[in-house]
Amino acid sequence: MKKIAFIAIVLAMSAAMGRAQESRQDISLSVMGLSEPFIASSTNVQVHSGPGYGALASYRYMLTPSMAMEANYGITYQNKIHYYVNPNNYQVMTRTQEVSFALVRSFVYRKYNPFVEVGAAAFIFLPIVNSGTTSLDVKQQTAMGPMYGAGVAYEISPSFDIRAEYRAFVTKVPTFGDPQLATNRWYNIFVPAVGVAYHF
């Protein structure tokens, strides 16, 4: 009887360990850039922006060996958005935050793991009131839209990999609550990132 109980316990522990190994998770921390394209609109408003730099934290949960759900939070320090509204110029220094969720499909080629992703994001534009902002009526704005991207992870050990990715968000051009800055246009915000992921 004791032998049967011992064998049952060993089998249960083996099954639990096998299940734990199947449950692949990882967290990553990356540095990222932010680039917003030039926009010319039908409302005579032109928009161009300087680059922004920040950090991105991500969590992935593997649903299958090649499919994962991903949650992201990113923040940039600051970048300048310039509006030309004939004949006036307005500048808004802004800090951005990103909250996004994506479905990630990965492929394995030895130590290289390319992947593609698609999902949805909330992009928060936070104006910074300082000498770089020339319009003091601007307000915080949240934009929602789809996100997509691709990248590659290089395995440096069973627990760590280096990850490089290029993501994009499709959002409406922000107006910061000021009607005269409206473009009635959408654009892609490009967000390249490079970082390290830890698997557990």
The pLDDT tens digits for 150-197 are 999 999 998 999 999 999 999 999 999 988 888 889 989 999 999 999
| Residue 1, amino acid | M
The single-letter DSSP state of residue 181 is: G
Give kind and range of the element (H or E) at residue 105: strand 88-106
Is the per-residue pLDDT at 17 higher than 70? no
Beta carbons within 8 Å of 122's beta carbon, 6+ residues apart: 98, 99, 100, 142, 143, 144
Surface-to-core class of residue 163, CB atoms within 10 Å of its CB (0-12 exposed, 13-18 middle, 19+ buried): buried
Residue 198's beta-bridge partner residues? 27, 160
**Assigned token pair, 3:** 């032998």
**85 or 11: which leads in pLDDT:** 85
Residue 106's beta-bridge partner residues? 115
pLDDT of residue 1: 52
pLDDT interval class at 43 (50, 70, 90):
confident
Give kind and range of the element (H or E) at residue 11: helix 2-22
**Assigned token pair, 54:** 């920040």
Express as a percent the part of the chain with pLDDT over 70.
Answer: 88
User: What is the C-alpha to C-alpha distance for residues 85 and 138, in angstroms, rounded to an integer?
Assistant: 15
pTM of this structure: 0.83
Mean pLDDT of 12-32: 67
CB 85 within 8 A of CB 92: no
Q: Please, how many CA atoms are within 13 Å of residue 175, restricted to the half-sphere of its CB?
A: 15
pLDDT of residue 133: 81
pLDDT of residue 14: 47
Class of the CATH-defined domain 24-199? mainly beta
